[in-house]
A = this chain, B = another copy of it.
Amino acid sequence: MWEKPALLIDTEKVQRNIENMLRKAIENRLIFRPHFKTHQSADIGDIFRKKGVAKITVSSVSMAKYFADNGWNDITIAFPVNLREAGEINELAERTRLNVLVDSVYSANKLAQKLENETGFFIEIDNGYHRSGLLHEDIAEIDEMVAIAEQNNPLEFKGFLTHAGNTYAAGSKKEILSIMKSAATQLQALKARYAERFPGIITSYGDTPSCSLADDLSDFDEIRPGNFVYYDVMQLLLGSCTPDDIAVAVACPVVSVYPQREELIIYGGAVHLSKEFVPNDRGAKIYGYVVRLTENRWTEPIPGAYVASLSQEHGIVKMCSEDLLKFKPGDVVGVLPVHSCLTANLLLKNRQLL
């Protein structure tokens, strides 16, 4: 067992994380459309399904196909529509209720020409994150896009969607809630402007930090958090979760022990964990926290221990001598990933459900 780096998934924690977020959605009377890009796997999807979840979000057409093949039929692809995949989108729209994201008149027009099957679209709003989306004040362009949906084509206007990725750079819960409030105000105003012409439109909001930290999400109609299913070190540092909520650890064989350097070398590198890092309080990079694996699960993080460097296959773990001397080559440590979405993506073929 654990000959090679493997993603250990604590399904009890997964269930608890899903239940907590689902409860919040129900209490706020929201559509719960969790983002499946974090886990990208049918078995974790099944856990959601057993809790009653039927609508999902993905970040690529390929992922939409994968989940459609696994029985999901109400899918939003929360990524600016890729016109080169119009053919695949059209096929998917034939067998699922599919929504895509559009952020320009150009793409909306092209899509209207290329599609044959009814496809929903959200207009993506950039609430200040400045990745993709129109600004809420880009009314002329939004007007034009909305008008396209009233023409004779298979596009159906579904509402306004934003991903508040700027919460990841926030310094406090207060700041995260303030970003959320601002996004809500923007989306609500837009919805109000078009609600008479399109009575069914909704506002859709994403991001795990907001959805984890806010109790009141009632300003929105739908939430799309994804990372919460696993959480990770980044979310821990943002305050979105406790160490005990982190539902994944990477089992990494120890290959070398250097007591004088207070370092372990593990088989677990950039191709397993990803090069995502968080800075520690002295400006050094942290690529993961370190835990001891127990018979069924893992411990709390070992105080002061962290993955300090990653090559393609090697990881360097910093650890005080006292803890370090408990390890020998051939042992295994667990690493709590900095960004579980990227780690899970790298280890899709080497997972173990606990």
Contact = CB atoms under 8 A, between A and B. Distances in A.
Given A62-B4, A342-B275, A265 B132 contact: yes
Interface string A296-330: 00000000000001011110100000000000111
A276 B270 contact: yes
Nearest to A126: B258
B165 A3 contact: no
Contact of A3 (B88, B255, B312): B88
A149 interface: no
A233 interface: no
Interface string A69-100: 00000000001111111001000000000000
A130 B261 contact: yes
A345 interface: yes
A341 B329 contact: no
A332 interface: yes
B328 A106 contact: yes
A39 interface: no
Copies of this chain, count: 2
B253 A314 contact: no
A201 B116 CA distance: 69
Contacts of A332: 84
A80 B255 contact: yes
Given A267-B79, A275-B342, A84 B3 contact: yes
Contact of A253 (B59, B82, B328): B82
22 contacts: A3-B84, A3-B88, A37-B312, A59-B313, A79-B313, A80-B255, A81-B329, A82-B253, A82-B267, A84-B330, A104-B257, A106-B257, A106-B328, A107-B255, A131-B309, A132-B314, A270-B276, A270-B342, A271-B345, A312-B342, A312-B345, A346-B346
Interface of A: 2-4, 37, 59-62, 79-85, 88, 103-104, 106-107, 110, 130-132, 165, 253, 255-257, 261, 265, 267, 270-271, 274-276, 309, 311-314, 316, 328-330, 332, 341-342, 345-346
